[in-house]
Structure 1
């Protein structure tokens, strides 16, 4: 079948280091162009990958079959809804928005247009972690689980290039919270009850009740001490304890997400990590935020 013409919205570090290279080299996509809020950065990124730069985002949508987004969530949501209305399939970043209303409007726009969507939750697409998650889904009988992500994002020698105002203002709940939920929900089921409390700095602790009857916890932070940073996911149940194996970030994950979008476009079968799942994640995080504010 024809290669998918895919445009890129965004010119920041993730767009430059992750999205643009993956889209340019993927065997089933052609990078049709780049649009960004900083025209000079868009021109530089487009030139680096031998593609066009667009000053008008709607012109990029018109020239593309699909659009990938690497912008803050509250910029992404309205632009992605416009892209869907233009008939473009969507490769979205997490969280899809930071309010349920914005996420719902985006999901409704995609549904009305009949476009495919994939939300890029890294752990769901990295080979090691996605294979482990599928194994736990098949095992069943889980009693409880946990997903903890302690990032030392702002350590003195950290990768400050990937910092941004929205991450600083919304903290670990909204940045790494989506990753935690993307692992817990497929195994334990949807969330029916949410309890949340603040820890030090931006740290948030969640206690979740799932529709399966299982419970889970999540500890989320971007400001942990460097020696206390780390990721842990585990499930406990009838068959024992399953612990997420060690993994390293790689370019494979974004390529697998593109694979998922191409497959959804060609088959018409919705991807498990589509915009509706992104909406549900946003609803749960917003509920947690409400619970924290009520304390």
Structure 2
């Protein structure tokens, strides 16, 4: 890709992505410009060796990719400041609920736009990044952006932007579901008599280990579950509660659907 990568907004997610780009070697400090109005956040970015600016007025036109890592409430106004780059740069937005059509309205119908839904584990390079691209994004640009996003975790693409609401409900909001499960498993351990610190360690490490095993194993999660479950054993007793009448499946499905519907509402 020709031109610099401009990161607009360097809050927690923007900063996490920036660190991933630099530490992986995918970008050099000289190839990156961070635009951040907050002085403290700008100084934090500068400490990594990249060029920083307080506003779009301080950025020249040499841009290959513009990452818009700002909140949905301000993305229209922020994106409009970079419209002069729309003829040459590819824009990548991580603003939840903001559709490509909205950005095309601001930047022009010929602008190359990618919409990305990350999640919070991206802060430690373990995120899930899901991308939708409009018709103007070239194969070269898509590949380059995908490689940058991969420094923050796994990357998947979708061809139908409407599926982004389901993506939001599963992977975008999903970490909160897992965190709550850890809370619940910890509380259940305490109720069963375990000291708080022990219950918390057991819950966190079990979720962490099981997730890693599921990812690395060639077996499907259902098969792994069956391998742990001895007939009439302790696991079977617990699963009869969680799985009886599809109890947990129905609850999780209801939660995901509630999140999906809310994502649709917020995007209007």
Q: TM-score, normalised by structure 1?
A: 0.41
Structure that is richer in helix per residue: 2
Bigger fraction of residues in strand: 1
Larger RCO, structures 1/2 (Cα 8 Å, 6+ apart): 1
Larger radius of gyration: 2
